[in-house]
């Protein structure tokens, strides 16, 4: 599945010119009025299906998005700033998986009634004789606001799949977060406080375990922390 702003493949195919050059942005207004579909057909290893949880993550969808996997509608996602993650363990198969993502620029979900109370409080950019090139509806859309025109850039409303799309699988436990705080630093050593957030994937059963932390530098282990019983 290709990812990035939809303007990029349209430029590569010669359908539009670079919108931030010259006056090309005016010829690209139609792009934000369309919905755009991304498709990926993929396979997974048989061993992946043996895990307890198989999670699909789309790190950033810009901005109104519908996600489908193997013909099932998974969700409607409404933020470019927050990732979408879902367990697909009961949907994914070894071959011929089809991931479809439909994205729009988002303004179609906001109307004049929505912005009536705040209309006078939202500033937009005026573009010479062309008038107001901004859009007050932008304040309700969870995406970068500058794409609707700023003092240093034209209106080029982005739309697409940003960042990465990936699948991770877990057995029994999943590491959800790693936080490292430097407590003491001297000329030849440092003391680190490492906190791990580990999720027990069993719905009700608890169990004993231990944590071992390796610090790597250029791919080589430099420090191994003592195992901590939990």
| Predicted local confidence at residue 174, as pLDDT | 92
Q: Of all residues in the chain, what percent carry a pLDDT higher than 90?
A: 60
The answer to whether residue 102 scores a pLDDT higher than 90 is yes
Q: Give the tens place of pLDDT for each residue, 160-218.
A: 999 999 999 999 999 888 888 988 888 888 888 888 888 999 889 888 888 888 888 88
Q: Are 126 and 186 in contact (CB under 8 A)?
A: no
Under the banding of pLDDT at 50, 70 and 90, the label for residue 229 is low
Give the number of other CB atoms < 10 A from CB of residue 6: 22
pLDDT tens-digit series, residues 31-82: 999 999 999 999 999 999 999 999 999 999 999 999 999 999 999 999 999 9
| pLDDT score recorded for residue 28 | 94
For 113, counting Cβ atoms within 10 Å of its Cβ (0-12 exposed, 13-18 middle, 19+ buried), the class is exposed
Residue 174 near residue 85 (C-beta atoms within 8 A): no
What is the token pair recorded at 109? 């979900």
**pLDDT at res. 228:** 61
Domains and CATH numbers, the chain: 4-168 (2.60.120.260), 173-229 (no CATH)
User: What is the reported pLDDT for 132?
Assistant: 73
Nearest Cα to 45, choosing from 58, 54, 36, 34? 54
* Burial class for 131, CB neighbours closer than 10 Å (0-12, 13-18, 19+): exposed
pLDDT reading at 7 higher than 90: yes
Determine contact, residues 39/100, Cβ cutoff 8 Å. Answer: yes
User: Under a CB-based contact definition with an 8 Å cutoff, are residues 107 and 29 in contact?
Assistant: no
pLDDT band for position 83 (50/70/90)?
very high
Please give the model's pTM, rounded to 2 decimal places. 0.84
Mean of the per-residue pLDDT values of the chain:
90
Q: Half-sphere exposure of 179 toward its Cβ, with a 13 Å CA cutoff?
A: 8
Give the pairing type, strands 210-211 and 214-217: unpaired
| Residue recorded with tokens 């579909």 | 37
Q: What is the pLDDT of residue 230?
A: 57
């Amino acid at each position: 599945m290709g990812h990035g702003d939809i303007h990029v493949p349209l430029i590569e195919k010669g359908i539009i010119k670079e919108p931030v050059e010259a006056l090309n942005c005016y010829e690209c207004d139609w792009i934000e009025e369309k919905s755009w579909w991304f498709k990926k057909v993929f396979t997974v290893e048989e061993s992946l299906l043996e895990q307890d949880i198989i999670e699909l993550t789309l790190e950033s969808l810009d901005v109104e998005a519908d996600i489908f996997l193997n013909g099932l509608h998974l969700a409607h996602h409404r933020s470019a700033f927050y990732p979408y993650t879902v367990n697909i363990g009961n949907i994914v198969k070894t071959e011929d998986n089809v991931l479809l993502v439909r994205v729009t620029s988002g303004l179609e979900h906001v109307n004049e009634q929505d912005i009536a109370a705040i209309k006078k409080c939202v500033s937009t950019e005026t573009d010479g004789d062309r008038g107001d090139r901004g859009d007050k509806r932008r304040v309700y859309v969870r995406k970068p606001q500058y794409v609707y025109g700023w003092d240093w850039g034209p209106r080029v409303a982005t739309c697409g799949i940003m960042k990465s799309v990936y699948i991770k699988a877990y057995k029994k436990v999943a590491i959800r977060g790693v936080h490292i705080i430097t407590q003491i630093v001297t000329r030849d050593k440092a003391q680190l406080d490492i906190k791990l957030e580990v999720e027990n994937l069993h719905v009700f059963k608890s169990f004993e375990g231990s944590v071992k932390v390796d610090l790597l530098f250029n791919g080589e282990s430099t420090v191994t922390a003592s195992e901590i019983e939990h």
